[in-house]
Each structure stands twice: as structure tokens, then as C-alpha cells.
């Protein structure tokens, strides 16, 4: 996977984290609505007496799956932020942060940084080249550590 593919994958991470958080909130809200009105409750009832409990169990399982996925996404997001923060040039970091962490378009970045579109693309290309060097260096360090361990 090259650096652009990695960043594109990471770019969607914050959106997916937000979606998963919203899904958990929706599940909790729906669970609160799943009670029977008191006027319909019978003193004796035959049949399945656990539909509400079963539903809550299923929702709890789903919520645990969502939280597990969120944790893996947060790990990927932290890794991306860590690597971008290693770029020495502030403008290069800022362009990558705005594009891949804040999910801003090139036009929004141009406006916020008061730069031409061409200049933002140039800075982005420089930043991607620098990030590639950083990632390769990190991989080399990991290989060295494995050899000496």
C-alpha cells in the first residue's frame, strides 16, 4: 500500500468513528422506547416472556461489536496523527491534517490557508514525499528492533 492509499483509508476513519458513535446512541435511544405501556400489561401471560430481554441482549452484543471496531479505528487514526506530526515543515503538516484528518477539500484548504490551489497541491506532494520517507524510516527501525530482539 502506498502513502496515498494509506491516507485515503485513514481519511475515512474519522467519518466511520462518528457513524459508529451515532449508531450506538441510536441503539440506546431505541432500547429506551421498547417498553410496553402499563395499560397493556397482563397479570398472567403465556408465551415468550423474554422478548424485551432478548432484544436488549442482541443490542448489547451489537454495541460491543461496534465499540471493538471503534477501538481499532481510533488506533489507526492515532497512528496517522503520529506520522503526520513527524513532518518537520508546519505547512506540510497543516495541509495533510486538514485534508486527511479534518476531511477538508482542497478548496477549503486554499481558502483557510490563503493559498492558490496549485500551491496547496505542491505542498501536499512535498508532504506526501516526506511522509513516505518517515514511514520507510519507521519500518526500518521496526525491522532493526526485531533483528536485535
Q: How confident is the model at residue 38 (pLDDT cuts 50, 70, 90)?
A: very low
Residue 42 in any domain: the answer is no
Residue 118 in any domain: the answer is yes
Checking phi first, is residue 67 left (phi over 0); if not, alpha (psi -120 to 50) or beta?
alpha
Least confident of 47-51, 63-67, 93-97, 104-108: 47-51
Specify the pTM. 0.64
pLDDT in the model for residue 18? 73
Residue 144 in any domain: the answer is yes
Residue 46 in any domain: the answer is no
Does the structure show a pLDDT above 60 at 101? yes
Residue 45 in any domain: the answer is no
Mean pLDDT in residue range 98-114: 93
Q: What is the CA radius of gyration of the chain?
A: 24
CA distance 129 to 100: 15
Q: Which residues contact 80 (CB under 8 A, 6 or more apart)?
A: 6, 7, 10, 13, 100, 101
Domain count, the chain: 1
121 lies in which domain range?
Answer: 3-35+51-148
Residue 44 in any domain: the answer is no
Residue 11 in any domain: the answer is yes
Residue 61 in any domain: the answer is yes
| H/E stretch holding 22 | helix 3-32
Amino acid at each position: 500500500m502506498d502513502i496515498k492509499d494509506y491516507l485515503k483509508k485513514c481519511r475515512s476513519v474519522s467519518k466511520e468513528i462518528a457513524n459508529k458513535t451515532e449508531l450506538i446512541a441510536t441503539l440506546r435511544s431505541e432500547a429506551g422506547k421498547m417498553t410496553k405501556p402499563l395499560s397493556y400489561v397482563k397479570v398472567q401471560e403465556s408465551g415468550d416472556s423474554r422478548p424485551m430481554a432478548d432484544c436488549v441482549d442482541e443490542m448489547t452484543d451489537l454495541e460491543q461489536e461496534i465499540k471493538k471496531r471503534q477501538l481499532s479505528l481510533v488506533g489507526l487514526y492515532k497512528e496517522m496523527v503520529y506520522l503526520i506530526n513527524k513532518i518537520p515543515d508546519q505547512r506540510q503538516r497543516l495541509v495533510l491534517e486538514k485534508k486527511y484528518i479534518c476531511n477538508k477539500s482542497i478548496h477549503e484548504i486554499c481558502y483557510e490557508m490563503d493559498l492558490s490551489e496549485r500551491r496547496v497541491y505542491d505542498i501536499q506532494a512535498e508532504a506526501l514525499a516526506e511522509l513516505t520517507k518517515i514511514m520507510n524510516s519507521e519500518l526500518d527501525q521496526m525491522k532493526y528492533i526485531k533483528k536485535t530482539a
